[in-house]
Amino acid sequence: MAASKPDRFAPPATDELEVSVFGPGRGESIVVHVPGGAWFVVDSCNVRVGTDVVPVAVAYLRDGLGVTRLDSAFITHWHDDHTQGAGQLLQTFAESLRLVGLPGGFNQRELASFVKDLFPCQSTSRMVRGLLDVLTVLRTPAFDHTFIRMLSDGQDLAPTGVSWSLRALSPSLEDLRRQAASLMAWAPGAAGPALRSVDVNSACAVLLLDVEGFRVLFASDLDEGDSNRCGWRCIVQHYGSGIQSRILKIGHHGSSTAFCPAAIDAICGGGDTRGVLTPFPARGAPLPRESDIRRYRPRLQSLHQTASAKCRARAGAVALKYTPFSAYLSNAPVPLQSIGQVRYRWVPGSLGPTVQTFPPARAL
């Protein structure tokens, strides 16, 4: 007798941990349920539901599970494959949001959009629409009760009196200092040598969830770093084996820029880490590449991917007047039933976790 297919909209038990990673081929969003009943979301991407385009977290929680309250939402960095639909997500759950955590890192692209936000008569940059939407939404009275924080190393993000913790492990002080230096370089009359472009990946927020010793690491797109004061090298320097985790959302779609051998050794030190990654249609070749998969697979008990690495976003040049760059890959939301989802569930005290995949997600 064939095994029954898992139900995407079967809710977790009240005392159950759920980590659902969504990735349509370009973009990602992570929806988390912690024991006690609270939900939070890390990053955002859109799906199509009928004729509407909505954040996947809204489609899954509100429309699929009937969830009406979201405790908190976190944006790990300002790249558009992590911010798409974030403003709508916040608006949908504005009444219940206790905390919104935002990144502090800007590079040239983000700075250009930030300036546009100050002059609304100018055309909005398509590539950073998510950033502008979030900044606009959070200025409305609906969020007067919400604690809005800039994410940085060492912040405790869980409410008091719960059986779980959530901590930001990055960006480091040096990461933020470099971002401030890039801001200063844009100031009128700035002197000195021109700074090299500081990519916003250097200021990504990595989050560590701990539920009674069961840890989940959300690696964002953080780079390895060029010293022990930056990136993953800084995290390893200061947290060591404290980042050992049972579930790892692999960083930067498996790219070599985010691979830090010392960090992976520390994360996978228990020998029972499950890894999941989301693909990205990079210009040279889609991520992850086979070489990326080979780096991770031997270190993990299992490895899953939310969509095919060959899945490309709809390509096309976007005129310079719309974005600080000459061109980028545009993206059309896919229907909810076509988006890949990898779902982990674990009940405190059990061996677990169990893993379920919803096509095109699959094991590697």
Q: Give tens-digit pLDDT for 119-156.
A: 554 444 555 677 778 988 999 999 999 999 999 999 99
Angle among Cα 276, 312, 307 to the nearest 5 degrees reads 25
Residue in 64, 59, 29, 60 with CA at minimum distance from that of residue 44:
29
What is the crossing angle of helices 173-185 and 231-239, to 10°? Answer: 150
Q: Tell me: pLDDT of 271 over 90.
A: yes
Mean pLDDT of 315-324: 37
Residue 200 — pLDDT band, cuts 50, 70, 90? low
In angstroms, the Cα distances linking 118 to 115, 137, 141, 324, 355 are 5, 14, 19, 16, 45
Res 198: pLDDT: 57
Residue in 242, 318, 247 with CA at minimum distance from that of residue 277:
247
Res 313: pLDDT: 41
Residue in 93, 68, 59, 85 with CA at minimum distance from that of residue 335:
59
Domain-located, residue 9: no
In angstroms, rounded to a whole number, what is the distance separating the alpha carbons of residues 198 and 175? 10
Residue in 94, 90, 14 with CA at minimum distance from that of residue 57:
90
Min mean pLDDT across 78-92, 240-254, 302-316 is at 302-316
Min mean pLDDT across 39-53, 105-119, 167-181, 263-277 is at 105-119
Domain-located, residue 187: yes
Domain-located, residue 5: no
Q: Tell me: pLDDT of 193 over 90.
A: no
In angstroms, the Cα distances linking 261 to 103, 256, 296 are 25, 10, 10
In angstroms, rounded to a whole number, what is the distance separating the alpha carbons of residues 246 and 269? 10
Res 180: pLDDT: 73
**Is residue 200 a contact partner of residue 77, using CB atoms and an 8 Å limit?**
yes
pLDDT tens-digit series, residues 48-71: 988 899 999 999 999 999 999 999
Res 252: pLDDT: 94
**Dihedrals φ, ψ of 16, to 5°?**
-100, 140
Mean pLDDT of 78-105: 92
Q: Tell me: pLDDT of 351 over 50.
A: yes
Res 66: pLDDT: 96
**Is residue 182 a contact partner of residue 219, using CB atoms and an 8 Å limit?**
no
- Its domain, for residue 333, covers 17-363
Q: Are strands 274-277 and 52-55 parallel, antiparallel or unpaired?
A: unpaired
Domain-located, residue 87: yes
Q: Tell me: pLDDT of 247 over 90.
A: yes
| pTM for the structure as a whole | 0.89
Res 328: pLDDT: 41
Domain-located, residue 4: no
Min mean pLDDT across 250-264, 283-297, 305-319 is at 305-319
Domain-located, residue 2: no
Domain-located, residue 154: yes
Residue in 204, 184, 185 with CA at minimum distance from that of residue 194:
185
Min mean pLDDT across 102-106, 204-208, 328-332, 357-361 is at 328-332
Total domains present in the chain: 1
Q: Tell me: pLDDT of 349 over 80.
A: yes
The residue among 339 and 282 whose pLDDT is bigger is: 339
Domain-located, residue 192: yes
- Any idea what the CATH number is for the domain that residue 345 is in? 3.60.15.10
In angstroms, rounded to a whole number, what is the distance separating the alpha carbons of residues 233 and 239? 10
**Is residue 266 a contact partner of residue 294, using CB atoms and an 8 Å limit?**
no
Res 297: pLDDT: 94
